[in-house]
Amino acid sequence: MPAPVLDAARPSRPDTLDKSVLVLTLCVWGGHYLLRSSLFYLTPDHSSDLYTLAARAIASAIGASICLGMYAALRRWGGRQPWPLLLKALALSVPASVLLTAVGEYVFLLLSPYYQVNPEQWMHPSELVPTYLGYQWMLFTWCALYVGAATILEVRRRDVQLAAAHGAAQQAQLLALRLQINPHFLFNTLNTLAGLVVLDRKEESERIVLNLSRFLRHTLTRTPSQFVALADEIEMLRMYLDIEIARFRDRLEVRYEIEPGCECALVPSLILLPLAENSMKYALNSAEDGIEIRIGARREDGTLVLWLEDDGAATPANGGKGLGIGLSNIRQQLTALFGDTAQFHAGPTAHGWRNLVRIPWQEASG
């Protein structure tokens, strides 16, 4: 399905910064109006009326409109670096304060009786300077709040981008690991199938083909980091081992020791397959009398413990220190998915080789 294309002509909803600026602008100028009105009433020998209150409300509304205009300009030309943005905002606030002072005086002249009672105060420096300084202070406050909000949202935006980039890198890493595992399994299966065809074991060949078909149908539709129920993972592993049992009928036995209640636990898909492949590649090939593979799971508090062990011997060529790319893939996959909360141990025992996986307990819903 193609990705949706944004229509430039379609109006978009305000983003988070738009909403934040609108809220802080209303708060700043609403507070300014309440503060001026309260101080006026507290001043001795002063009174007020509805016309004066209306004039102050209009002046505050004009101040809010000027701030929104400044925001539109800064959003377009201010950039995203905090200090340059703050300097540009402060520079814009100076002419904005002059404009607001002049407009505010005319509003009071038209609506308030103050200048009718005191005509000599009209445009007098004793009136203009305090008014200008008051407006300038409010605009400085708005600039600081705006730059702070813009910086916080920019940091959050970058954190989201970093998380998305990390997720994409993790998906790419897991996909690379999966591409190493799948061909290995496929080649082993095809070699086994070729041997059965040569031996004219048709029923077993058909069963292997069906198992392989089911396996590929399940795995190829999953993303590399997808979690599956342990019951599904064991079923996938059973398909693989059934194929190997068909080939090594008298030399391979498999025993499952899954604790009740663990079937619904979530595990990374195909987490156990490389371990089973290593048992087949190293333990079975070096054991004349065959081996037994034991696969188990249990819950320990908030941890799911998985193990796969055999009673064969580690190949002397590696001395028991890692068997091919399988163990490395398991470690990388667990690190990518769980970080330090997962553990993986693999090594020889007195009776063979043991792989142990510990991951946080997660349960499939339903």
Contact 230, 258 (CB under 8 A): yes
Which residues neighbour 244 within 8 Å (Cβ) at sequence distance 6 or greater?
Answer: 192, 252, 280
pTM, two decimal places: 0.52
pLDDT in tens, the chain (366 residues): 333 333 333 333 346 889 999 999 999 999 988 887 776 666 554 555 777 888 889 999 999 999 999 999 999 888 888 999 999 999 999 999 999 999 988 888 888 777 777 788 788 888 889 889 999 999 999 999 999 999 998 888 888 877 766 665 556 555 555 555 556 667 777 887 887 788 887 887 888 888 778 777 766 666 656 788 999 889 888 888 887 887 777 889 999 999 999 999 999 887 888 888 888 888 887 777 889 999 999 999 899 999 999 998 655 434 444 445 668 778 887 888 888 899 999 999 888 999 999 999 998 775
Do residues 208 and 189 make contact, with C-beta atoms less than 8 angstroms apart?
A: yes
Domains (ranges, CATH) in the chain?
Answer: 16-163 (no CATH), 201-360 (3.30.565.10)
**Which residues fall within 8 angstroms of residue 124, CB to CB, at 6 or more apart?**
none
Rounded to 5°, angle at Cα 241 from 235 and 242:
85
